[in-house]
Chain A
Amino acid sequence: MVLVYIDQADQQIKKASLEALSYGAAIAKQLGCATEALIAGTVKENLAELGNYGAQKVHQLKNEALNSLDVKAHSTIIAAAAKSLNATVVVFAHNINGKAIAPAVAVRLGAGIVTGACSLPNTQNGFEVTKTVFSGKAFATIKIETPIKVIAINQNSFGIQNHNQAASVEEINIPIPAASIKITKVEKIEGEIPLTEANLVVSGGRGLKGPENWGILLDLAKALGAATACSRPVSDSDWRPHHEHVGQTGIQIAPNLYIAIGISGAIQHLAGVNRSKTIVVINKDPEAPFFKAADYGVVGDAFEIVPKLTAAILKMKSTA
């Protein structure tokens, strides 16, 4: 059986988990076995709807103490659940929570793990999974040598697939270990689309010359419904908050569309965005290295081009 861990934040199921569930269901189909989901804590959604993403059964560890991440507690109960349910493959989203929990679960199950997976397993010769390595600059195909396998799937690499079915929901009883950490304060970034979950991202670099010029970028992001990001020099200069920094040492993203404005495209920046499906580069320097990694390029002054692009998008949306 393939068991997919359904992750939540603020009692809402993360989009990345629905993708992990779709991915787990595809593995189950390949192996000819069932797909089941495991969720810890209490969420607002109707869990039967997880059937739409491929789950036949949903196991819920209904306990409010599990609503925030405690790796020791979560990994202990997920491993115990996987054992008692006889899971042979355990799937996580490779997001903040999945990255923290999945390797500990693998150890507790004596299982081999591949994190950052970007393909379905090849089961012709054992069990091989391809993952991104060298910050997205290459792929490695890894053979998992253990009877139980743990996989954490890269966000936005498999997609969400619809299955027209309802899942049965059952409560599962597993003793919950004492909390190993105490949360004392939560600061939420309100109203913004989390970068790692955004389908569309508009990003700015030093070419915008200063934080006072970000208005044109924010207008474009608003017209598109996109999240905003920036390059390292921009966050280092405090023009934009650190959590917007994408790149090798910032966060790595893989949106459907990445629009880079006034970013030259240093190799470290590309490492954070090269898994984007489509890249648009706007830069006045035709020699900017980013154009080599781009699908569409516009050479010229961002201060003229970006407002025109925003207007064109609003026009398209009003006629659509």
Chain B
Amino acid sequence: MKILVCISKTPDTTAKIAFIEGNTKFDESGVQWIINPYDEWYALVRAIELKEKDPSTIIHLVTVGGVEAEPIIRKALALGGDEAIRIDSNSNDSFTVANEIAQVAKEGAYDLIFTGKETIDYNSACIGSMLSALLDLPFVSLADHFDVTGNTATIKREIESGEETCEATLPMIVSCQKGMAEQRIPNMRGIMAARTKPLKVLTPAASTATTSIQIFDLPPTKSGVKLIDPENMDELVRLLKEEAKVI
């Protein structure tokens, strides 16, 4: 089985969010970069677990980003995976990114494509769904369990009112969330091995962006907390009813 895992570089979850150049650009100064948690903890680690069960499995990682994404993709390779592909584009248009990955996916004839459920920077949750349309493959989103027997995948996914188990025939695309796999950290052997694993850099295919970011804004700061006397919960209820008008 051949698995393609989509990896995105995101700011650390505790990074300070600020913007520069007239609020048109994210301020990267002092920001620690990480593998998007959903891509790492759930998509990549589940792929590694599948390879541990069936060592003939081949895992490729793909990222769309500039050379600064390489430490992240090396870190992903240190966790596991056989080789990585970086498409040299800094696009933040979901369609362009999905289209680049779709070219790699077509070329590699993968049985399975894993993505995280969304990235923690743009929160668009677009790539898996877009890939399914570009490649015309089945797509299951928000998966928290995934197993495969022969050509048939069994997936548990979150639905509006609970959980659903479904089956699909490979090839397919799955977006992964909490529950898929246990978080792990790279060991020294993995880190050493990652240094020599192949990392291919591809020139982006020409595609026209469908969207562009105009400007960023920060939410207005809260005017300050109103402290209520713990002995006077009637007052809190009154404020919630009359001032905030939420109950």
Contacts and interface: CB of A to CB of B under 8 A. Distances in A.
Contacts of A316: 234, 237-238, 241, 247
Nearest to B209: A145
B164 A185 contact: yes
Contacts of B168: 180-182
Contacts of A143: 211-214
A196 B132 CA distance: 26
B163 interface: yes
B132 A278 contact: no
Q: Which of B163, B219, B246 has the most CB of A within 10 A?
A: B246
Q: Is the interface of A mostly helix, strand, loop or mixed?
A: mixed
Interface string B197-219: 00000000000111111111111
B148 interface: no
A142 interface: yes
A195 B5 CA distance: 30
Contact of B230 (A139, A199, A277, A298): A298
B178 A305 contact: no
B129 A103 contact: yes
B164 A108 contact: no
A101 B222 contact: no
A181 B166 contact: yes
Contacts, number: 269
B233 A242 contact: no
B95 A315 contact: no
A106 interface: yes
A100 B247 contact: no
Contact of B139 (A72, A96, A243): A72
B13 interface: yes
Interface of B is mostly: mixed
A283 to B, nearest CB: 11
Nearest to A148: B210
A113 B226 contact: no
Contact of A96 (B123, B141, B217, B240): B141
Nearest to A258: B246
A220 B13 CA distance: 31
Contacts of A299: 227, 230
Contacts of B238: 316
Contacts of B239: 296
Interface residues of A, number: 97
B179 interface: yes
A297 interface: yes
A112 B211 contact: yes
Interface residues of B, number: 79
A138 B218 contact: yes
Given A181-B166, A249-B178, A267-B14, A75 B133 contact: yes
Contacts of A224: 247
Given A114-B211, A146-B210, A71 B132 contact: yes
Interface in A210-267: 224, 242-243, 245, 248-250, 256-257, 267
Contacts of B165: 183-187
B140 A95 contact: no
A85 interface: no
Contacts of A166: none
Nearest to A68: B164
Given A299-B230, A316-B241, A138 B217 contact: yes
26 contacts: A71-B139, A96-B141, A96-B160, A100-B129, A103-B133, A105-B133, A114-B211, A115-B126, A128-B214, A132-B123, A133-B122, A143-B211, A180-B137, A187-B164, A188-B161, A245-B178, A249-B41, A257-B244, A277-B246, A278-B246, A294-B222, A294-B225, A296-B227, A298-B230, A300-B230, A305-B233
Interface of A: 9-10, 14, 68-72, 75, 95-97, 99-108, 110-116, 128, 130-146, 180-189, 194, 199-200, 224, 242-243, 245, 248-250, 256-257, 267-268, 271, 274, 277-278, 280-281, 291-301, 304-305, 308-309, 311-313, 315-316
3 closest cross-chain pairs (CB), A and B: A112-B210, A300-B230, A180-B138
